[in-house]
Structure 1
């Protein structure tokens, strides 16, 4: 995403997500190296985004207790998966309804991997061993199903009032963690 894309991407966020993000959120996505927002456009309408993903590379996920809260311990039995490796946090992900079920969200998640590996000089092991985490509202069954198909699992109990700024719908959420499967 470029700064000129912010108004259109913000409008798509507002249309697809119950949370309203401040302008500063979008500006950070364009300025901070460890954050990214990738946007998909339909070829016939290159000015109107149809999907987005925003993500952050967490260099020290233990700061937030991620590995301590990750209860699927068998996934970390591989010695190459350690607390020293970065984790990707998916901040937002959305696809305009007419384009859902077409593989766009899956492609965007994979492109986030590529972005961080290429632009932050991560090792080639990043794709295979990088842990991904995100939060999803307890009521968002389609998102929970999508992330489960991608290889993430609910690792927490219900996080009460996680989406307290959300004007409607469930304010409770889950932490999902895993490695992206093929």
Structure 2
């Protein structure tokens, strides 16, 4: 457990659920999510400068709830995240640029029942740098699925956040032991400085 996973040579950046609802402590946010968003703005600028593929995710449900599933039984507040809802929109500092993929998802993982795997594969990506929230939920699910789809996951440790710091720390530790390489934004930028 915990062996170093060497980053590959063809990275992409996947930003998970940095939307208004998770940025707002009065809705679904809190903890260290605001700080993670600020760090991710710098990481996104770096990734764009390097020409990396970039994907963003949003949780999006039908306005009438017709596509709801078990996830919404556990977390019914997610049903408010519809296509047009303010809380489902990506925060302005991370707004997608032309050519960047926006994944609409109804589950935790950015890969489950979405086009993300094929989109990354078409671009010959071998490494997925993951930022976003929440560390213990959708980030973790995305990291596990990235590994299971044979991408090398890197968790940008200061670019992920959670509503509570204890689950954030515990899940970073566990992902680092089993599924991913943990690297700060500065370490990622230094590694890919070429």
TM-score by length of 2: 0.32
TM-score by length of 1: 0.34
Which structure shows the higher strand fraction?
Answer: 1
